[in-house]
């Protein structure tokens, strides 16, 4: 039991810290909380973390298969880039048109759970991240190829991601309510975040040194400098 608890908290800590940097999904959750309400943002977050948990499960049981799917992941990278560009565009559009305060994509009639599930499923950036961490934890014998280890690890990851998203969901809502922030200004800020995210992703995709193939073949480069503290 202590081993499973250790694995649970390891997965939760990695996932929580990995959810804190600004990214497409957590910023989208923040914007939904402001425009659609906290309950809708939570549904979006649950959908996105469910897809992440499925990806982690695949990385645990199908590592060899994942290594061979570079073309598929490349396509998903471009799809994700297009989605982020569209999110940036519609945020700027809403900022330029005060009567249209909502991002058309995030405020679509699609259920927020489904929207979160789809956006997360189309985001391949989390695959090398979890592939790398799982490999490191296997190497250090923190994680063993056992069903109970996998289940504890994945549940911890799901809870860690949810807590990290809640920081953005409640933080964004609190910022707007307490500071009485103008929705128009918020659209400019969020549009800028999406635009920067798109540029960073495009830059990474263009760099040969950070190709998906290399990240999958050398997972230790993803986790360098942090895995020691996790292991301890």
Structure tokens at 187: 């659209």
- Token code pair at residue 132: 């790398």
CB atoms within 10 A of CB 131: 23
Nearest alpha carbon to residue 188 among 128, 103, 122, 120: 103
3-state secondary structure 147-201: HHHHHHHHHHHHHHHHHHHHHHHHHHHHHHHHHCCCHHHHHHHHHHHHHHHHHHH
**Residue 21 DSSP code:** S
Q: Output the pLDDT for position 98.
A: 65
Backbone Cα Rg of the chain: 18
Could you tell me if 202 and 115 are in contact, meaning their C-beta atoms sit under 8 angstroms apart? no
Give the pLDDT score at 60: 81
Predicted pLDDT of residue 160: 94
Tokens of residue 2, six digits: 């202590």
Take residue 202 and report the two structure tokens written for it.
């495009």
pLDDT for residue 226? 47
Question: Tell me, what's the pLDDT at 16?
Answer: 93
- What pLDDT tens digit does each residue of the chain (232 aa) get? 688 999 999 999 999 998 888 788 888 898 888 888 899 999 999 999 999 998 888 878 766 566 666 676 677 778 778 888 888 887 787 777 766 556 677 777 789 999 999 988 887 677 777 877 888 888 888 888 888 999 999 999 999 999 999 999 998 777 777 655 566 677 777 888 888 888 877 887 777 544 455 555 555 554 444 444 444 4
């Amino acid at each position: 039991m202590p081993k499973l608890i250790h694995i649970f908290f390891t997965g939760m800590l990695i996932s929580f810290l990995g959810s804190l940097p600004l990214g497409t999904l957590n910023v989208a959750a923040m914007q939904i909380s402001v425009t659609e309400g906290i309950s809708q943002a939570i549904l979006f977050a649950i959908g996105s973390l469910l897809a992440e948990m499925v990806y982690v499960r695949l990385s645990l049981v199908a590592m060899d298969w994942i290594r061979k799917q570079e073309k598929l992941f490349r396509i998903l990278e471009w799809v994700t880039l297009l989605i982020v560009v569209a999110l940036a565009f519609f945020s700027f559009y809403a900022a330029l048109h005060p009567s249209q305060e909502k991002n058309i994509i995030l405020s679509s009639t699609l259920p927020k759970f489904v929207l979160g599930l789809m956006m997360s499923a189309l985001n391949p950036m989390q695959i090398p991240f979890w592939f790398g961490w799982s490999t490191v934890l296997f190497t250090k014998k923190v994680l063993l190829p056992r069903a109970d280890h996998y289940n504890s690890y994945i549940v911890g990851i799901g809870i860690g991601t949810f807590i990290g998203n809640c920081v953005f969901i409640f933080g964004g809502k609190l910022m707007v309510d307490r500071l009485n922030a103008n929705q128009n200004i918020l659209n400019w800020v969020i549009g800028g975040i999406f635009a920067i995210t798109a540029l960073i992703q495009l830059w990474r995709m263009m760099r040969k040194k950070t190709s998906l193939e290399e990240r999958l073949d050398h997972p230790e480069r993803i986790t360098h400098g942090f895995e020691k503290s996790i292991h301890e």
